[in-house]
Structure 1
Amino acid sequence: MLIKTDISSDFLNLFTKIFENESLEGGNRLNVFMLKISNNQFNYGNLSEELENALITYALSRHTCNELIEQKKFGNLASQAREKLRRAKSNTGELGELLLYCLLESHLHAPKLLTKLELKTASNEYVKGADGVHLLKIGDASYQMVFGESKLHGDLKSGIISAFESIKTMLDNDLDKMRYEVHLVNTNLLKETVSEDSYEILKKILIPSENDENLNLDNSFGVFLGFDISMSDDERRVSNAEFRTNISEKVKSSINKIVPTINELLKKNEFIGYNFYFYILPFSDLDKTRSEIINRLKK
């Protein structure tokens, strides 16, 4: 492994898998997870606790993390990571970005190269471009640079359309967004703490002037979509077992309705030749939940 992942597969224990690696148009993959349920509601407490830990390696470069650990400045790890987050009132996207990072590392096993939050120098600063960039090993000499795109939107269809529009913008040759993202990765490569041998291989994969003709690199997209799933008081007034069954079926129904839309978008010419890895997660009262989790992470 050239770069290790920081989020282990244990992160997935927070979820029930509704669909895993389900096939989509063009050989792309769909994963739908649902937070485990306690007392007829999603267990956001356990999620928040895990995200508090994940925020450190998401928001800070590996070099910074290792340096602070070596100096035994453990409190600084958490405080510097928290300082990067915007306040909950104006923070509509960073929860999705953090969840995408966790899922790409724990499920796809694609370690991060760079995250948008890592580049921020102030909590109110907005950094354009992909939410994160990860490296996925496909074979002995084949790799994918996975560009992250996350959307938290009450309506799942609107979130999907918005995500594809953002990716289309990134692929627009006139704007040259992809080249800019690759440049960011290259210029920040030295911030990653890797062995000298790994660093030389990474240069050959990622830096055009260093490319090895025997190595193949393609671009792909990791997409996280959070959406609202309603839970009325009447729906919650059933046994725990019945509620788990009902909410699982409700999520499945929502996804089955939206898969044709995803497949139609994937058929568009501008997306041919790219791999997509979708991660979808339902929330109850999305806006309130997002705000509460961000407030906890900020504290």
Structure 2
Amino acid sequence: MEGNLDKIGEMLKDLARGKLDDISSFISPVVKHQYNDNKVDCYHLKVDANGRPRLTELIKYMSLKITDYAIPRSKVQAALSKLAQTGSTEEFTRLTLEARKLFTKLEQSGEGGELLLFALTESILKYPQILCKMNLKTDEQVHFHGADGVFLGVDDDGMLSVFWGESKLHADHSSALAECVESIASILKMESEIDSDIRLIDFIDLDNEQLEKAIKEYFDFNSPNYDKLKSCAVCLVGFDHVSYKFDPAKKLTNEDLKAKVEHSFNTHWKKNLERKLAENNIQFCKVIFFYLPVQSVDNFRSTFRKELGLA
């Protein structure tokens, strides 16, 4: 397998958990945009037949992902083996409780956004998370510093691409975008904790020793395969948007939402994004953005905390 990126790429895709059909029940694509090597997929949160945003349903879907997100694959596989041997789900219950304890109780935590970024990246892009940074936290109430996630895939240009994740949820689009781009720029330009993040590759857990060994070759600067490793980024930018504002005279529909969000993207957000990328000198790096305007990011956080029993 060593040096066979096609095979590595297929194996990585197979490891990605979740399906596009699952998450498309809650969010809907609005517009796609490409700027140099940067790509933006803009979505809106769907509303139900009564015009109510489906935030609670999205949060419930996300909460089902906490074990996949926070617990290393080898531990999950061990629980599967025990289930097959004993018929008991005891080990899975233990892992789920362990996963929930890893989430902070801080009200302004960004961990809900990080979990959503994980779900989007694995289910839509098919780039699997290669290590569980939540599991490496030394204190349950302290965030792990550095990138919000580490994902891996083989790109169209035949490079092994490590995607450093960044999630920012702010009430204002401009501040969410600015902070996100600045954070990811410091990582892509080797200005922050990326060296420690690269050392974290020692903790890679794909429950496949042969695949892990092949991948680690690309992170070794003494290896000829190092030239085929590319640093990229995947980002979630979430913010409040007036399109969800309740109007007693008119029921909100998904068609209305799409039109309003698309208008905002084409008239404001797109230009702002391109300007921020250029200002931070990463306009030619590969960065994939998930844009998700919501009714209220504060409501997103509080609903997430209640669902996980953290409130």
Q: TM-score range by the shorter chain?
A: 0.7 to 0.9
Alignment of 1:232-271 (within 5 A): 232-233=245-246, 235-239=247-251, 243-256=253-266, 257-268=268-279, 270-271=281-282
**1:128-182 C-alpha deviation (Å, 9 max, x unpaired):** 1000010021148421100001100011111101111212332454x45222211
Match of 1:223 in 2: 235
TM-score, normalised on structure 1?
Answer: 0.88
Q: CA deviation at 1:71?
A: 2.7
Cα 1:232–1:33 change in 2 (3 A) is closer
Match of 2:294 in 1: 283
Match of 2:162 in 1: 145
Q: CA deviation at 1:115?
A: 4.0
Alignment of 1:145-224 (within 5 A): 145-171=162-188, 173=190, 175=191, 177-184=193-200, 186-189=201-204, 191-194=205-208, 196=210, 198-212=211-225, 216-224=228-236
Match of 1:106 in 2: 123
Structure 1 unmatched ranges of 5 or more? none
**1:79-131 C-alpha deviation (Å, 9 max, x unpaired):** 1111111115242x011101111111111111111243232243202211000
Cα 1:62–1:209 change in 2 (3 A) is farther
- Bigger mean CA deviation after superposition, 276-285 or 61-70: 61-70
CA distance in structure 2 between the partners assigned to 1:159 and 1:6 by the alignment: 27
Match of 1:136 in 2: 153
Q: Quick one: which of 47, 52, 56 aligns to 1:37? A: 47
Match of 2:7 in 1: none
State yes or no: 1:85 paired with 2:132: no
CA distance in structure 2 between the partners assigned to 1:150 and 1:109 by the alignment: 18
CA distance in structure 1 between the partners assigned to 2:29 and 2:112 by the alignment: 20
Match of 1:2 in 2: 11
Match of 2:87 in 1: none
Q: State, as a whole percentage, how many aligned pairs show the same letter.
A: 24
**1:204-237 C-alpha deviation (Å, 9 max, x unpaired):** 2233344537x6110011010111013333x253
Contact 2:20 2:123 in 1 (8 A): yes
Aligned residues: 288
Cα 1:150–1:125 change in 2 (3 A) is same
Give, as a single letter, the amino acid of the residue that structure 1 aligns with 2:105: R
Give, as a single letter, the amino acid of the residue that structure 2 aligns with 1:179: D
CA distance in structure 1 between the partners assigned to 2:231 and 2:301 by the alignment: 30
Match of 2:88 in 1: none
**1:231-273 C-alpha deviation (Å, 9 max, x unpaired):** 333x253145xx3332222222222211111112222463154
Q: Quick one: which of 56, 60, 67 aligns to 1:56? A: 67
1:265 partner SS: helix
Give, as a single letter, the amino acid of the residue that structure 2 aligns with 1:44: L
Contact 1:87 1:295 in 2 (8 A): no
1:146 partner SS: strand
TM-score, normalised on structure 2?
Answer: 0.84
Cα 1:90–1:15 change in 2 (3 A) is closer
Contact 2:274 2:283 in 1 (8 A): no
Contact 1:84 1:117 in 2 (8 A): yes
Contact 1:84 1:121 in 2 (8 A): no
Q: CA deviation at 1:35?
A: 2.0
Contact 1:88 1:295 in 2 (8 A): no
